[in-house]
């Protein structure tokens, strides 16, 4: 259950009369309602509020849910008077500059006074749109229904984006703020809001809603219980958010952990009969020298010797720390215009084209054949590793990694991913990885047979991480 669902559930229990018990000595909503009508008639006779047309009683079909027998279904204008605030027009407004609230000041947790605007209000405006302590403010648009209570005696007014609700009979306005929040959470408010794309809670819709009215004393006990539970909901939300964040990160973190175990020699055991990384390294050098003599491979620039201080972590004794350029041949592809790359494969454009972040599309020709790991060397994702097989085109932003002496292509890719090559990118607006810099990065070299066992283990475990996403 999400924190919002939990909160909705508690509020729904509250406004259905299930959060606190009913006490006969506290009277009934019917008695409260009659007192309010007497008060209203007094105000009508004094000309302070308008007389309204009598409303029909609620039918069983109109009742949103069941409430206790001591409660009563009412419309808002039967127990309160409400109005939208002043419509502001800088060209027409006259009077004294006064502070006023709008929807940006009203939040479920209270009134924000960080940004309070001012406008001109006449004396008549000030009388009509002045806020009293305990007034309930409801957003007419935007986040429709968002509500808060004005709990201050300082001078403040409100504009026409807000409904101001002032209750009769000593009604606890905090209780009805929770009613509105519950109606918002369970969708009742949406049913009364007008508009196809931009919703508004107009005055007639606000008055059309049926609201559950408990006795005053019970209203106060309901509010007290909700306020007692809110800190617990906040704590639950913090724990839930941490758990959600953990769950989102867990598959990726698990993948990184598996790759780290692999690259440090802790994913599979070492077997003496499989030889050593040094022996494989010598085979690679022999093959590379042979290719250089035959003109199939360019001679490498000498790479610096590896010092003990450079080694980032311990590896098995049978492994060997080497530089990437000493065991692979890295070569960037060739430039191709975006116009020559097509998003869909066809008979004419049948060759995949690899750039800085994997396959970009399809082209008419190819410049590489085989099975290779490819390092992206340009852009925010430079250092990412993909695989290419068969005939394909590598752009200047893709570095093709050629391996020797039967070295596993998949092992090469997994270990390059584990090295997080992005950390070696230039810190510019358009990050990049120079081949010369990649060549100097250290990589641990296990025996060939162990490489294959590492790959087999990763191939069985990494898909399980994907299933967790």
Mean predicted lDDT score pLDDT of the chain: 91
CA angle 141, 172, 236 (to 5 degrees): 70
First to last CA, the chain: 19
E strand map for 303-448: 320-323, 328-332, 351-355, 358-363, 368-376, 385-394, 398-403, 442-445
User: How much is the average pLDDT of 257-280?
Assistant: 94
Supply the pLDDT for residue 469. 67
Instruction: Read off the pLDDT of residues 102-135 as tens digits, 9 standing for 90 and up.
Output: 999 999 999 999 999 999 999 999 999 999 999 9
* Global pTM value: 0.66
d(CA 255, CA 450): 20
Instruction: Read off the pLDDT of residues 49-59 as tens digits, 9 standing for 90 and up.
Output: 887 777 777 78
Between 415 and 248, name the one with better pLDDT: 415
Q: Could you tell me if 428 and 387 are in contact, meaning their C-beta atoms sit under 8 angstroms apart? A: no
d(CA 265, CA 268): 7
Locate 320 and state its tokens.
Answer: 């060997």
Strands 106-107 and 110-111: antiparallel
Q: Could you tell me if 117 and 108 are in contact, meaning their C-beta atoms sit under 8 angstroms apart? A: no
Q: Which residues are 378's β-sheet partners?
A: 432
Q: In order of start, what are the domains of the chain with their CATH numbers?
A: 3-237 (3.90.220.20), 264-467 (3.90.220.20)
Residues with Cβ within 8 Å of 158's Cβ and at least 6 positions away in sequence, in order, are: 85, 86, 100, 101, 102, 129, 131, 137, 164
Residues with Cβ within 8 Å of 301's Cβ and at least 6 positions away in sequence, in order, are: 436
d(CA 448, CA 459): 17
Is 70 exceeded by the pLDDT of residue 196? Answer: no
Supply the pLDDT for residue 161. 93
Supply the pLDDT for residue 142. 85
Locate 385 and state its tokens.
Answer: 């590793």
Q: Could you tell me if 119 and 84 are in contact, meaning their C-beta atoms sit under 8 angstroms apart? A: no
Q: Tokens 């306020």 appear where?
A: 227
Is 80 exceeded by the pLDDT of residue 195? Answer: no
């Amino acid at each position: 259950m999400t924190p919002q669902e939990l909160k909705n559930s508690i509020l729904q229990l509250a406004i259905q009369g299930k959060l606190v018990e009913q006490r006969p000595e506290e009277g009934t909503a019917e008695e409260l309602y009659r007192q309010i009508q007497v008060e209203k008639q007094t105000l009508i006779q004094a000309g302070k509020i308008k007389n309204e047309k009598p409303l029909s009683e609620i039918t069983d079909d109109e009742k949103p849910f069941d409430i206790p027998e001591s409660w009563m279904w009412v419309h808002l204008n039967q127990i309160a008077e409400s109005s939208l605030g002043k419509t502001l027009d800088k060209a027409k407004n006259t009077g004294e500059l006064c502070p006023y609230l709008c929807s940006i000041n009203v939040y479920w947790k209270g009134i924000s006074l960080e940004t309070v605007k001012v406008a001109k209000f006449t004396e008549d405006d000030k009388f009509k749109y002045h806020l009293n302590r305990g007034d309930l403010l409801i957003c007419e648009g935007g986040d429709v229904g968002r509500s808060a209570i004005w709990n201050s005696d300082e001078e403040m007014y409100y504009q026409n984006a807000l409904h101001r609700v002032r209750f009769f009979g000593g009604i606890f306005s905090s209780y009805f703020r929770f009613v509105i929040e519950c109606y918002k959470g369970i969708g009742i408010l949406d049913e009364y809001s007008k508009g196809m794309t931009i919703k508004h809670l107009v005055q007639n819709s606000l008055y059309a809603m049926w609201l559950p009215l408990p006795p005053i004393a019970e209203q106060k006990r309901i509010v007290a219980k909700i306020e007692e539970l809110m800190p617990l909901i906040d704590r639950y939300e913090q724990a839930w958010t941490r758990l959600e964040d953990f769950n989102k990160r867990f598959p990726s973190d698990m993948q990184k952990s598996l790759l780290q175990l692999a690259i440090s020699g802790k994913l599979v055991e070492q077997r003496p009969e499989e030889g050593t990384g040094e022996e494989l390294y010598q085979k690679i050098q022999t093959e590379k020298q042979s290719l250089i003599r035959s003109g199939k491979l360019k001679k490498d620039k000498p790479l610096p010797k590896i010092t003990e201080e450079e080694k980032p972590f311990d590896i098995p004794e049978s492994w060997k720390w080497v530089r990437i350029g000493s065991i692979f041949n890295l070569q960037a592809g060739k430039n191709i215009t975006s116009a020559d790359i097509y998003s869909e494969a066809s008979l004419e454009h049948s060759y995949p084209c690899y750039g800085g972040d994997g396959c970009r599309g399809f082209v008419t020709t190819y410049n590489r054949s085989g099975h290779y790991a490819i390092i992206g060397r340009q852009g925010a994702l430079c250092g990412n590793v993909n695989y290419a097989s068969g005939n394909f085109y590598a752009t200047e932003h893709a570095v093709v990694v050629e391996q020797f002496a039967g070295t596993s292509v998949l092992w090469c890719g997994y270990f390059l991913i584990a090295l997080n090559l992005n950390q070696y990118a230039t810190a510019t607006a358009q990050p990049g990885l120079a081949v010369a810099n990649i060549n100097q990065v250290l990589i641990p070299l296990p025996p060939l047979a162990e490489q294959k066992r590492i790959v087999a283990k990763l191939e069985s475990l990494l898909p399980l991480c994907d299933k967790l996403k």
